[in-house]
Structure 1
């Protein structure tokens, strides 16, 4: 008998939690020879998410929740869920049902019967997203050298989960950590679907910030760009030297210096935060699953 732990980061998800619980429970109950638990991590929600999680934990003994003292971010929520998961198969999925619950059964089959260490969903289109957001997402995956559409939705073996938990950095980027630890992964394609309710918490600004965090955590591309810009600027200066547009040069090269120093400073700030050794999250309230069985 295998146990499946489903980790669900939640931030203001009052409109979708009931539907999520119903759909995921229905799918989990179709997987033979398994038990399961649902671990909801409330990442400082300001709506009625906490009330719904308390209700679910009371009526369903498979449910537990962990509520943060404030919003620490999805990366911290996923890490907290991984630390609390008891299963030998562990799933991370969003509460908005954009990660199809119907994939849970083939994911379990890939690990238990095909002997993969991980089975992950890969979104093959971005229907419903704007062209700008689509372009930026595609460009980000190219910069960081990851498969476009590779997200957090995946089922992992206990061995892979334990390896991820060994990565204790404060500035976490889980997609990069998945790639870093390795292990054999099977990809299952799926089409993009709309949220069942509520609004996405990811706007262009938050996605851009998240992308920068991923780049600075798992790529030296900004430093390489700065070196390239510096070299090009140096060569270009000889071309413009006879013209002597002093004001232009001062503004242009001054901006380049600031850009390069900003990239270096960003890496230095990451090192600074790591050196503080602060906790990745703080739990304010929690409940334990009363049983882990069908």
Structure 2
């Protein structure tokens, strides 16, 4: 749609909006969240759907969702197990039919009040509108440090422009959604895919709200695994760098060999140092194990892809025939 058509559709409240909300053990907040989201969407458009993607919840999230009134226009997808948030988002995107898709979390940390700003930016011609956190002061200092380091590494070793402090809270035009549907990979880093597809994009600052209930399931290890997925998915520098490290070590060894030969010819043979030998063996062994580990990360991802297993399995699909 052209900007003029988008503006007209927004003014006439005829924009078809699909809200994609991944949920995992959100029984305490999902009903209140959906009702508030419904109120906001009704003020913006006559045509909307709320796609809740349950990622294998162990509580009563699905039962609570099923008790919501039909006026909420719920579309429920239930994955057969916990596949992870990236796959849950993928399932939602593959089942949405709106002219725009809006992704947000169900814990109230993504402010629903920002949605009119997203739609206004879309009406002005932007195909992707993403939220950017204004502050991370509420997070632990170590987490903030690793986040800054991750974004710095991604800027240095990848060709994608990954916005700092931007998450999954965003609006996607239908053509962006269609582009994302073309990616077949199973090990996904959605923030990287958003940046990879390109299109006209703009950021909208927002303040992260307190969680309405519960605690985040994203611990340090899961965030580290996600960061490794992002790096391995969009850069081959970790593989290439070991070639340069190997060259550097070989060059140093060659220089040292010349030094030993020269000293031996000039001053005679010297007793070899056992500590030096141990340090050299441990250093080279550590380098080899580290390089094999990095190579293994890439091989493991190749192994996952060549099996061609489904990205997810649906156990529940309700509301899509209405």
Q: Given the two structures, how large is their TM-score scaled by the length of structure 1?
A: 0.92
Is the counterpart of residue 180 in structure 1 residue 193 in structure 2?
no
Alignment deviations for residues 99-130 of structure 1 (CA, whole Å, 9 cap, x no partner): 11111111111112x01111110112112210
Structural mapping, 1:11-22, within 5 Å: 11-22=24-35
Conservation of the 8 A alpha-carbon contact between 1:7 and 1:78: yes
Equivalent of residue 103 in structure 1, options 114, 139, 142: 114
Residues of 2 paired with 1:251 and 1:9: CA distance?
Answer: 46
Residues of 2 paired with 1:225 and 1:211: CA distance?
Answer: 18
Structural mapping, 1:36-115, within 5 Å: 36-56=48-68, 58-112=69-123, 114-115=124-125
Conservation of the 8 A alpha-carbon contact between 1:62 and 1:289: no
Q: What is the aligned-residue RMSD (CA, Å)?
A: 1.9
Structure 2 partner of 1:125: 135
CA shift, 1:3, in A, is 0.7
Higher gyration radius (CA) = 2
Residues of 2 paired with 1:28 and 1:177: CA distance?
Answer: 27
Kindly tell me the number of residue pairs found equivalent between the two proteins: 288
Residues of 1 paired with 2:120 and 2:282: CA distance?
Answer: 60
Conservation of the 8 A alpha-carbon contact between 2:35 and 2:72: no
Uncovered stretches (5+) of structure 1, i.e. residues with no partner: none
User: Helix, strand or coil: the match of 2:67?
Assistant: helix
User: Helix, strand or coil: the match of 1:29?
Assistant: helix
Residues of 2 paired with 1:224 and 1:125: CA distance?
Answer: 35
Is the counterpart of residue 262 in structure 1 residue 272 in structure 2?
no
Does 219-228 or 274-283 show the bigger shift?
A: 219-228
Conservation of the 8 A alpha-carbon contact between 1:61 and 1:290: no
Structure 2 partner of 1:26: 39
User: Helix, strand or coil: the match of 1:30?
Assistant: helix
Residues of 2 paired with 1:8 and 1:200: CA distance?
Answer: 15
Bigger RCO of structures 1 and 2 (CA < 8 A, at least 6 apart): 1
Equivalent of residue 139 in structure 1, options 124, 149, 157: 149
Structure 1 partner of 2:230: 214
